[in-house]
Amino acid sequence: MSIRVRFAPSPTGYLHVGGARTALFNWLYARHEGGKFLLRIEDTDKERSSEEHTRVILDGLTWLGLDWDEALVFQGARIKRHQETADKLLAEGKAYLDDGAIRLTVPPGEIAWDDAVHGRISFQGADIKDFVILRSDRTPLYNLAVVVDDLDMQITHVLRGDDHISNTPKQIALYRALGGGAALPVFGHVPMINGPDGKKLSKRHGATAVGDYQHMGILPAAMRNFLALLGWSPGGDREIMTREEMVRLFSFAGIQQKSAIFDMTKLEWMNGQYLSATSAEELYPLVAPQLAQLGLNGRKDAVLRAIAAVKTRSRTTLDVAKQVAVRLDTRFVQLDEKGAKEIAKDPAGYKASLEASLAVLRRVDWTPETLEQHLRGLAEQRGVAAGKVFQPIRIALTGGTVSEPVNELLYVVGKEAALKRLESAISGSIPG
């Protein structure tokens, strides 16, 4: 049997992280099995659907690296098929007219399925009321459209959110009525995504649109990896995985039944891991537009050097851009709270240390190696730990107390600018 799965978003809004996660699980399953991943745009609600939303959803999937097979299916273009199917059920006596609408008869008896995630789920037909499949204006309802489309698209596995569990018995009743029992897909319902407070993820918890994470400087590979772990685990404590590794390891057995928690701190941590592992050259096209937005158009070689220096200490590409800006343009240097506290401990010592460093730095060859060598030499000469020499320089150059090693920082800032920043710090004007 060749596996065919689908992601079926309604283009009534942006691509929600929950939708993206559902798409990812379907994609991983298709790629793992060598099957097909199809996309169906469920645009039957003409009022709320828009081409703009469809475009944003497709852009989001493309950004995440989730490529789809075959042509896009637009549900709205298939209404005739939905109508014909409802008429057929009516003609066969499996549905009836109710005030102009067509309603499916749900026979009593058990309606059950072996859910790929939850195991056996069972409903009683008697508890499910006969339901409308075609309105009196001849527009189809969700359950009818989905079943007709899934049958025509020869979908073998329907993997979707837990919120659809209550639709599944209705859809099975439709499959039975259509005599498509043999074609019944495997259903699997993936856990919902909650915020850290355990409540359904919503805007209250922060950004819920995939596009927002893109703009905030999350890398697509990190987002994909993070989303994969929302409800799925490859076993053990394995977390950082390439797309290929996830494809190899993915299985329904690894999907949890309990809801997943969206933890922003973890996403930022994971993004930091990916930033560290990505070259400055690859990050450049992502960072450059953010620099331009900050009002800085640095030379590419200088920007690359700065990216390489800061990327391991960043959580987002925006974070990278801000730190690059501090290094390449004095206007962005601002004394932060920790920097100010450090200076306040011993303002005279701070100045004296910078003066001694400045005297040395004026005459050294500006390479990371010689800078390190001379500053360590200075510390030895003054009989202090190297950090005592490094920290004032770090504060004078960046305004903060955390950075790459000071010799690299000096190198990235450049001789002329670095000397000026030190002079300003000594005279007490910058940073402050």
Residues of this chain that interact with ligand GLU (CB under 6 A) are 8-10, 42, 146, 160, 164
- The string of DSSP codes covering 96-161 is EEETTEEEE---SSEEEEEETTTEEEEEEGGGS--EEEE-TTSPBPHHHHHHHHHHHTT--EEEEE
Residue 6 φ then ψ, to 5°: -145, 155
CA distance 239 to 237: 6
- In the complex with ligand GLU, which residue's Cβ is closer, 15 or 324? 15
Helices (H) and strands (E) in the chain, counts: 18, 12
Between the alpha carbon of residue 180 and those of residues 174, 185, 298, 341, the distances in Å are 9, 10, 63, 73
Instruction: Please state the closest distance from residue 53 (CB atom) to ligand GLU, in A.
Output: 12
- In the complex with ligand GLU, which residue's Cβ is closer, 146 or 328? 146
Between the alpha carbon of residue 20 and those of residues 25, 156, 230, the distances in Å are 9, 20, 11
Task: Extract the tokens encoding 430.
Answer: 């910058």
Between the alpha carbon of residue 261 and those of residues 24, 168, 200, 258, the distances in Å are 17, 25, 9, 10
Instruction: Please state the closest distance from residue 114 (CB atom) to ligand GLU, in A.
Output: 18
Sequence length of the chain is 432
Instruction: Please state the closest distance from residue 38 (CB atom) to ligand GLU, in A.
Output: 11
Q: Which residue type, as a one-letter code, is found at position 328?
A: L
Is there a contact between 310 and 327 (Cβ–Cβ < 8 Å)? yes
Q: Which residue matches tokens 């922060």?
A: 206
Active site (annotated) includes residue 203: yes
- In the complex with ligand GLU, which residue's Cβ is closer, 133 or 306? 133
157-161 and 36-41 beta bridge pairing: unpaired
Q: Among 129, 203, 258, 345, which one carries the catalytic annotation?
A: 203
Q: Which residue matches tokens 């497709």?
A: 58
Terminal-residue alpha carbon distance, the chain: 69
- In the complex with ligand GLU, which residue's Cβ is closer, 9 or 298? 9
Instruction: Please state the closest distance from residue 146 (CB atom) to ligand GLU, in A.
Output: 5
Catalytic residues: 203
